[in-house]
Structure 1
Amino acid sequence: MHELVVLLQGIVLGIAIAAPVGPIGLLCIRRTLQYGPAMGFFTGFGAAVADTIFGAIAAFGVSAALDFLQGHEVAFQLIGGIFLLVVAIRTFRKKPEEDEREADKAADTPSWLGGFMTGLSLTLTNPATIMAFIAIFAGFGLGGNLGRVDASTLVAGVFIGACTWWMSLSMGVAAVRHRISDERLTLLNHCTGVALAGFGLWALGMAFTGMAGWAMG
């Protein structure tokens, strides 16, 4: 019974981390609408894997990994910010008919792999994710003092919860795809591109602020 409770806690944590609408959520929605639910899910699945890695670091209390992440936070913000801006520009300029042509030409597996790598890369280069895990773990009264079995069970729950969220989101969006016109998809591309650019500029701003602090210090 105890392990079941820990597993359920992990599932709740996984959903809590994945559910807030951010860069990956926007990409998952857009790619589901234009490529189908599998593409949307694999974009989220990449984020779920990254969330699981961060969850493992927080659950097992790996101080060396935490120190590395905190010590290289500015570098992660720079990489993540630039990556987001590139994705934002490509997304803004995309037209529905171009996506359909690409989908016809591309094999399913490379497309899914590309979606997975995008979700994984964007989440891994966001040090705020690990900080969010630490904060939520503290709120649940969890942390590095967990035993190996409990920590492993908790991390498994995080993975299940995150995957469940991305599957639900992609399937839900796919269910209403037929109601959305190409004009609305174009508008979605523009809105998503602007939002992603905002996230990217915020990350770069945080990086430059950190570098300025180092220079002044």
Structure 2
Amino acid sequence: MDWLALIGGGLIIGIMVAAPIGPVNLICIRRTLAYGPLNGFLAGLGAALGDGVFAVIAGFGLTAAGGLITGMSFWLQLCSAILLIVYGVAIMRAIPRVIHNPDGTLVSAAGSNLYTAIGSTFALTITNPATMVGFAAFFAGMKEIVDYQVSLLYTFVLVMSVLLGSAAWWGIVTGVTSIFRKGIATHTLRVMNLGSGALILISGVVFAVYAIWQAVAG
């Protein structure tokens, strides 16, 4: 067993799952700019925890749970789409109010909630069964490294490495985004809310149409 290869593979998988630009990345960036790096990182961490649930299912071969999620894919996709639509509308309607330090750094913004930050992205991630399919494919490619039937310790290390990789990505996104917080104005946050909210809303509509189309075509 090459522990470095195992941990490195898990870190890469975690980053690959988290990195694609989508609604969660937009939410993380927006929350970092509006509420600060901690709020933005927790939003990313919520997605990482959701990824972790699917990683556990795929890594430990919990076929019953995996089959249940796959069988409910239409309803889960529909729930995810509805969450995106509701969240997008809420962001577009939000009226940000900011407070600045004398040096221009942003102190706070109305509406900041750490529980909402982590809970919203966790819910969006956990209702996306495609993530589990992706983890199953990634883990299948590492069969030569980890024997999922007998090497539970190795699988546990792999899953934890995936979580660390995903969390590292969100830390990078949060850190880079926070650089641009200094001197940000209420008008800028308002424009950002409208733009990111609209993109998230459109994503929800697209996901809903795709889920319905799959159900009808299938």
Q: Structures share a fold, TM > 0.5?
A: yes
Change (3 A) 1:13 1:123: same
Cα shift at 1:141: 4.7
For the pair 1:206 / 2:210, whether they are aligned, the reply is: yes
Cα shift at 1:6: 0.7
Paired position in structure 1 for 2:104: none
**Helix, strand or coil for the counterpart of 2:182?**
helix
For the pair 1:178 / 2:182, whether they are aligned, the reply is: yes
Cα shift at 1:142: 6.2
64-73 vs 139-148, greater mean Cα deviation: 139-148
Cα shift at 1:187: 2.0
For the pair 1:69 / 2:69, whether they are aligned, the reply is: yes
- The amino acid across from 2:170 in the alignment is W
Cα separation, 1, equivalents of 2:145 and 2:3:
16
Unaligned runs of 5+ in 2: 99-107
TM-superposition CA deviations, 1:171-194 (whole Å, max 9, x none): 221121115433332222112111
Is the CA contact 1:15–1:161 (under 8 Å) kept in the aligned structure 2? yes
Runs of 4 or more above 6 Å deviation = none
What is the TM-score with the length of structure 2 in the denominator? 0.87
How many residue pairs get matched? 207
Is the CA contact 2:146–2:154 (under 8 Å) kept in the aligned structure 1? no
For the pair 1:153 / 2:157, whether they are aligned, the reply is: yes
Cα shift at 1:195: 1.1
Describe how 1:125-136 pairs up with structure 2 within 5 A. 125-136=127-138
Change (3 A) 1:142 1:53: farther
TM-superposition CA deviations, 1:89-123 (whole Å, max 9, x none): 011122322882334xxxxxxx2111111111000
Is the CA contact 1:60–1:143 (under 8 Å) kept in the aligned structure 2? no
31-40 vs 62-71, greater mean Cα deviation: 62-71
Question: Matched residues, percent identical?
Answer: 32
Paired position in structure 2 for 1:197: 201
Cα separation, 1, equivalents of 2:183 and 2:97:
17
Paired position in structure 2 for 1:78: 78
Change (3 A) 1:191 1:142: farther
Cα shift at 1:16: 0.8
Is the CA contact 2:47–2:121 (under 8 Å) kept in the aligned structure 1? yes
Cα separation, 1, equivalents of 2:193 and 2:114:
19
Paired position in structure 1 for 2:167: 163
What is the TM-score with the length of structure 1 in the denominator? 0.87
Paired position in structure 1 for 2:110: 101
**Helix, strand or coil for the counterpart of 2:20?**
coil
Cα separation, 1, equivalents of 2:198 and 2:144:
37
Cα shift at 1:168: 1.6
Change (3 A) 1:160 1:26: same
Unaligned runs of 5+ in 1: 104-110
Cα separation, 2, equivalents of 1:183 and 1:173:
18
